Structure 1
Amino acid sequence: MTRADAIARARQHLHSGEFLAELDRRVAYQTESQNPERRDALRAYLSEELQPAFSRLDFSTRLVESPTGKSPFLLAEYLESPSAPTVLMYGHGDVVEGMGGEWRSNLDPWRATTIDNRVYGRGTADNKGQHSINLSALRAVREVRGGRLGFNAKFIVEMGEEIGSPDLRQVCESLRDELTADLFLASDGPRLSADRPTIFLGCRGGIRIHLEVKLREGSHHSGNWGGVLANPATILASAIATLVDGKGRLLLDQLKPPRISNQIRATLADVKIEPTSDEPSLSVDWGEEGLSAAERLYAWNTLEVLAMSSGNIEKPANAIPGRAEAVLQLRFVVGTRMDKIVDAIRTHLHAGGFPMIEVRAAQGFAASRTDFDSPWINWTAESIRQTTGKAPAVLPNFGGSLPNDVFSEALGLPTIWVPHSYPGCSQHAPDEHILLSVTEEALGIMAGLFWDLGEMARLRH
């Protein structure tokens, strides 16, 4: 049996309907981590669904309780030979709110429904479909190799990624010896595009900044008080305009990243951001000047206004509101001091005539990535090229945030992410889906990678 046989076997899992039936069963668990009423579903997904799946692959499994009483973690381990390479994998089984009633044709978010090239359902892209692809590829290699993988594998699954992975670092640090590995390999987030396999080495960080102007209780008639009462909404809008301009360009130097290195520029030189017909078109003349779209997305910092509120937008009164608030988010790359961001904004606003604005951090994720000199990068890229005939895009990080720092910094592992979704997948929104075409290719990619890991063990002997 050969590498090609393993790839064909993985794809057969999709063609036979086995993979989609498995995914449908997993999507049915309503694992909304932001909903306290789903606590039992979060645990059940691990104990009822994933533990048996890993056991069928001869992994030993156990649930690890959260140190703060939140949802448990699943630790699965397969040890074949102390001389074989060991890979640590990751997935998350929690999802965002289902948003039932908002999906096309009133689709049920808790079923995996196939329409043409799309498989709809909450979690299909983020992240149940992606870790299901990796499990299916492991199974295919094992079937072809006569019950063996050829390498050692460990898997940790959390149920709190959508609420910021609050206990992941503490749990992983407590399990440091058990999570020892040669490589961290996982799948989440989107590819560069549906037709180009992608490797990313880490993630941008993200921090939410809450701005609030509270001048008085209640609202006051704009005719009787206009011109003599300060308007908090006007103040807030003016303050934000000192942080980011009308073309999305950062104005505060402390929010900007270090200079983009020549190495990163070279890596991104062939990366084209080309939305498909059902994705939003890139905005003309938006973002940092002098950068390509890829550099803006993967190598620069961006400040976005996520929400603003003052008065009642549905029923505006002829009155000056007493308060205004906004939630901003800075997405940032490695080299940005996350611990300095809030203080920098506060100092800037207060010095600029806005001492009435309260500034606080609401949520944060660190930026991290694997060094470009890691030999695992070329190894992964060559494996994918051999499987698909395509040169994968290699990104220093992807645009969003993941708990990559837990694995790259806390555990000290080289981190390689091979995503199985695409930018138009509608994750975190109604109509979340994966593409059958990408899923089939991804099953082959992961089977090829796992086969090659096994060959590495053979060569070591």
Structure 2
Amino acid sequence: MTSTPTPDQKLVDAAEGGISAALADLGRLVRIPGIAWPAFDQDQLVRSAEAIAQLARDTGVFDEVRIHRAAIPGTDEVGQPGILATRAARNGRPTVMLYAHHDVQPPGDDALWETPPFEPTVRDGRLYGRGAADDKAGVMAHIASLRALQETIGSDLDLGIVLYIEGEEEFGSRSFTQFLEDNAEAMRSDVIVVADSGNWDSETPAVTVSLRGNAKFHLKVRTLDHASHSGMFGGAIPDAMLATIKLLSTLWNDNGSVAVAGLTVRDAETPQYDEATLRAETGLLDGVTPIGDGTILSRIWNKPSITVTGIDHTSVAAASNTLSPEVTVVVSARIAPGQDATAAYEAIKAHLEAHNTFGAQLTFGEVDCGDGFLVDTSGWAVEAARDAMRDGYGKDPVDYGVGGSIPFIADLVQRYPGAQILVTGVEDPHARAHSPNESLHLDTFRHAVISETLLLGRMNARQD
């Protein structure tokens, strides 16, 4: 005698059955090099947006699907194309917003990729390609879940759904606040699922409960009004590179922890995580020691960090015996959850001005600040997400902190203060997002799709 499948089992079966098609569509999206940096072909972002809009329409879920560009506040420019698909809630059901982004990081040095960055390649249970994990996999996790929902529930689908796929997250979400302003009512939601984070490992899901903020800026250091011969004047005048090195070195203590007064630390416990795991997940070379103090995860989740991510100076190939008049660097700081990012930037700026040993001319510009985020875990949606992950992965989820930043979440909270925020993702620690050989663990993707399908299906049945 054959038993009738439960509603949950129907959802799981539909999600499982759609994985192959979802991965095929993901591969097609990976082939589109949609990068929001102006130096890259912007038509590719239009191609990407159009492809995703069609995927959304094809689900049969939405009342309306459109591509929208919003103005960039304070400029005459408009942002990159985002996809907004909406379905009104019925019969008193809640509305859920599903967020991901379709723009990707530049590929970097092609020579460092084992396979071409925009040619999706499967090997050893992973799909390789730029955006395969961050965040086109997030896009396809949403699409695949909606397909499964439509297949199993169909005309009985009462859940309100907003699908928002951003087009410039990797480039600072410059038009995000205006996009929210332009579409405030259409995007109003009770629950917001942000699929742009990670998991504890490839088998263990995570609910992200804290995110660091960020403060990035350009610093120009100038000591001379023209270049001079290093042999003739070296030893008497500080060139810009010397002044820059001396100045930047004051940002860190000898152990690599941040030495800037005014940057705060969040006091919170962290799970067990040892140095061997850190080495395995990051590729830290033999003999190179980790930096900072306290538990390893407290350094990543709860403390500030400062990294110099770019420098304008003479290349090695063009080096000559010259005292450089100016150097420009990009300083990227991560801010502990709970600290105002603008206040953190001002603290770093004040530190650099106070430690300007040789009196160099310092110019600060291109300032970009975004606040961190602490999730309120007391709401029903967080518990529903944990239950869905437990059933979708077959393992208890971990409450997870993230060292990176998703500043637009603070904008969502400000716009929709009553919404419950769920930060999830399809990445595992070996995804290498932003790096050469970025990849998606295929089984993690499958579990993520099942989990989201269960979450949405159960929300559709929820009676408040």
Using the size of structure 1 for normalisation, the TM-score is 0.88
Deviation at 1:83? 0.4
The Cα RMSD (Å) is 2.6
- Partner residue, 1:411: 416
- Partner residue, 1:427: 433
| 2:135 matches 1:127 | yes
> Which segment drifts farther, 324-333 or 36-45?
36-45
Taking a change above 3 Å as real, the CA distance of residues 82 and 258 of structure 1, as seen in their structure-2 partners, is farther
Taking a change above 3 Å as real, the CA distance of residues 312 and 72 of structure 1, as seen in their structure-2 partners, is closer
- 1:306 aligned counterpart, secondary structure: strand
Deviation at 1:222? 2.9
Task: Verify the 8 A CA contact 1:368 1:408 in the aligned structure 2.
Answer: no
For residues 191-222 of structure 1, what are the alpha-carbon distances to aligned partners after superposition, in whole Å with 9 as ceiling and x for unaligned?
23222211113532112132222122443333
| 2:87 matches 1:78 | yes
Deviation at 1:158? 1.6
Question: Equivalents in 1 of 2:52, 2:349: separation in Å?
Answer: 47
The residue identity in structure 1 corresponding to 2:456 is F
> Which segment drifts farther, 415-424 or 43-52?
43-52
Structure 2 residue corresponding to 1:30, chosen from 24, 33, 49: 33
- Partner residue, 2:100: 91
| 2:264 matches 1:257 | yes
Deviation at 1:87? 0.5
Taking a change above 3 Å as real, the CA distance of residues 41 and 350 of structure 1, as seen in their structure-2 partners, is closer
Task: Verify the 8 A CA contact 1:110 1:122 in the aligned structure 2.
Answer: yes
- 2:414 aligned counterpart, secondary structure: helix
Task: Verify the 8 A CA contact 1:299 1:333 in the aligned structure 2.
Answer: yes
Structure 1 residue corresponding to 2:271, chosen from 249, 269, 272: 269
Deviation at 1:293? 1.2
Q: What does 1:107-256 align with in structure 2 at a 5 Å threshold?
A: 107-254=115-262, 256=263
Task: Verify the 8 A CA contact 2:265 2:304 in the aligned structure 1.
Answer: no
| 2:366 matches 1:358 | no
Question: Equivalents in 1 of 2:250, 2:133: separation in Å?
Answer: 37
The residue identity in structure 2 corresponding to 1:3 is D
Task: Verify the 8 A CA contact 2:221 2:363 in the aligned structure 1.
Answer: no
User: What is the identity percentage for the equivalent residue pairs of Structure 1 and Structure 2?
Assistant: 20
Q: Which runs of 5+ in 2 are unaligned?
A: 72-76
Question: Equivalents in 1 of 2:331, 2:41: separation in Å?
Answer: 29
Question: Equivalents in 1 of 2:48, 2:162: separation in Å?
Answer: 18
Task: Verify the 8 A CA contact 1:208 1:361 in the aligned structure 2.
Answer: no
Q: What does 1:234-383 align with in structure 2 at a 5 Å threshold?
A: 234-254=242-262, 256-260=263-267, 264-265=268-269, 268-270=270-272, 274-275=277-278, 277=280, 279-281=282-284, 286-289=290-293, 291-354=294-357, 355-362=359-366, 363-383=368-388
- Partner residue, 1:455: 461
The residue identity in structure 2 corresponding to 1:360 is F
The residue identity in structure 1 corresponding to 2:271 is A
- 2:48 aligned counterpart, secondary structure: helix
The residue identity in structure 2 corresponding to 1:132 is M
The residue identity in structure 2 corresponding to 1:50 is A
Question: Equivalents in 2 of 1:374, 1:285: separation in Å?
Answer: 41
Question: Equivalents in 2 of 1:400, 1:190: separation in Å?
Answer: 12
The residue identity in structure 1 corresponding to 2:376 is D
Taking a change above 3 Å as real, the CA distance of residues 357 and 334 of structure 1, as seen in their structure-2 partners, is farther
- 1:324 aligned counterpart, secondary structure: strand
| 2:439 matches 1:437 | no
- Partner residue, 2:74: none
Deviation at 1:9? 2.0
Q: Which runs of 5+ in 1 are unaligned?
A: none
- 1:145 aligned counterpart, secondary structure: helix
Question: Equivalents in 2 of 1:35, 1:356: separation in Å?
Answer: 32
Question: Equivalents in 2 of 1:431, 1:285: separation in Å?
Answer: 24
Question: Equivalents in 2 of 1:176, 1:6: separation in Å?
Answer: 31
- 1:192 aligned counterpart, secondary structure: coil
Taking a change above 3 Å as real, the CA distance of residues 91 and 218 of structure 1, as seen in their structure-2 partners, is same
For residues 112-136 of structure 1, what are the alpha-carbon distances to aligned partners after superposition, in whole Å with 9 as ceiling and x for unaligned?
2212211112211111112101210
Taking a change above 3 Å as real, the CA distance of residues 58 and 343 of structure 1, as seen in their structure-2 partners, is closer
Taking a change above 3 Å as real, the CA distance of residues 305 and 57 of structure 1, as seen in their structure-2 partners, is same
- 2:461 aligned counterpart, secondary structure: helix
The residue identity in structure 2 corresponding to 1:292 is T
The residue identity in structure 2 corresponding to 1:339 is T
Question: Equivalents in 2 of 1:325, 1:403: separation in Å?
Answer: 27
Question: Equivalents in 1 of 2:437, 2:40: separation in Å?
Answer: 23
The residue identity in structure 2 corresponding to 1:24 is G
Taking a change above 3 Å as real, the CA distance of residues 55 and 178 of structure 1, as seen in their structure-2 partners, is same
Deviation at 1:278? 6.3
For residues 47-76 of structure 1, what are the alpha-carbon distances to aligned partners after superposition, in whole Å with 9 as ceiling and x for unaligned?
344234334323021222322433232211
Question: Equivalents in 2 of 1:385, 1:244: separation in Å?
Answer: 41
The residue identity in structure 2 corresponding to 1:442 is A
- State the number of aligned residues: 448
| 2:404 matches 1:399 | yes
Deviation at 1:8? 2.5
Question: Equivalents in 2 of 1:119, 1:164: separation in Å?
Answer: 26
Question: Equivalents in 2 of 1:95, 1:170: separation in Å?
Answer: 21
Task: Verify the 8 A CA contact 2:199 2:206 in the aligned structure 1.
Answer: yes
Question: Equivalents in 2 of 1:416, 1:450: separation in Å?
Answer: 13
Deviation at 1:44? 3.0
- Partner residue, 2:15: 10
> Which segment drifts farther, 32-41 or 187-196?
32-41
- 2:413 aligned counterpart, secondary structure: helix
Question: Equivalents in 2 of 1:342, 1:359: separation in Å?
Answer: 14
Question: Equivalents in 2 of 1:369, 1:361: separation in Å?
Answer: 29
| 2:396 matches 1:387 | no
Task: Verify the 8 A CA contact 1:100 1:109 in the aligned structure 2.
Answer: no
> Which segment drifts farther, 310-319 or 388-397?
310-319
Task: Verify the 8 A CA contact 1:193 1:423 in the aligned structure 2.
Answer: yes
> Which segment drifts farther, 275-284 or 157-166?
275-284
Using the size of structure 2 for normalisation, the TM-score is 0.88
The residue identity in structure 1 corresponding to 2:264 is P
Task: Verify the 8 A CA contact 2:339 2:371 in the aligned structure 1.
Answer: no
For residues 243-274 of structure 1, what are the alpha-carbon distances to aligned partners after superposition, in whole Å with 9 as ceiling and x for unaligned?
212322111221x22441xxx32xx3356682
- Partner residue, 1:64: 68
